[in-house]
Amino acid sequence: MLIVFPLGLFVTATIFDLVRFVTGNPTFGQVGYWNIVVGMIGAVLAAVAGLVDWTAIPTGTRAKRVGLLHGAANTLVLVLFFISWLLRMDNVEHVAGAGTFTLEVIAVVVSGFAGWLGGELVDRLSVGVDDDADLDAPSSLRAVRSRVASR
């Protein structure tokens, strides 16, 4: 769940930077810049959670290899947006130049690949999926209520 915000913020930043190029309105560049700032904070939090999950995957499995590639791709996305942020930091209006915007587009494409790998981990390899999950599993809140009632 932690990846939704940084991914959305990074994509939105790229869209705002595109709108800034089309309209020439620097406000869109400012919004893109701040989306990147908040996206990086969220990405670091997601990376920590992802690393914890990855360490629980048994060594020598396909899931471990896919998880490593997934983490590496997401790290590349974070680094590319970090570079974009650094290049814009000294600019008073924080607008992206053509090279910076290109980095963002590359990062968004890489994030699509990383997202696909994340889907592989969950949907194909069942990483992070509750062992009791099935089409008729009871609500996860039911277990919480049972624990609270037993206290």
Q: Quick: pLDDT tens for 88-118.
A: 999 889 999 999 999 999 999 999 999 999 9
Higher-pLDDT residue of 133, 77: 77
Please state the pTM of the whole predicted model.
0.87
* SS3 labels along 13-69: HHHHHHHHHHHCCHHHHHHHHHHHHHHHHHHHHHHHHHHHHHHCCCCCCHHHHHHHH
Asked whether 14 and 108 are in contact (CB, 8 A), the reply is yes
What single-letter amino acid sits at 149?
Answer: A
pLDDT tens-place string over residues 42-57: 999 999 999 999 999 9
What are the extents of the domains in the chain? 4-130
Tell me what the pLDDT averaged over the chain comes to: 92
Higher-pLDDT residue of 148, 73: 73
Burial class (CB in 10 A: 0-12, 13-18, 19+), 87: middle
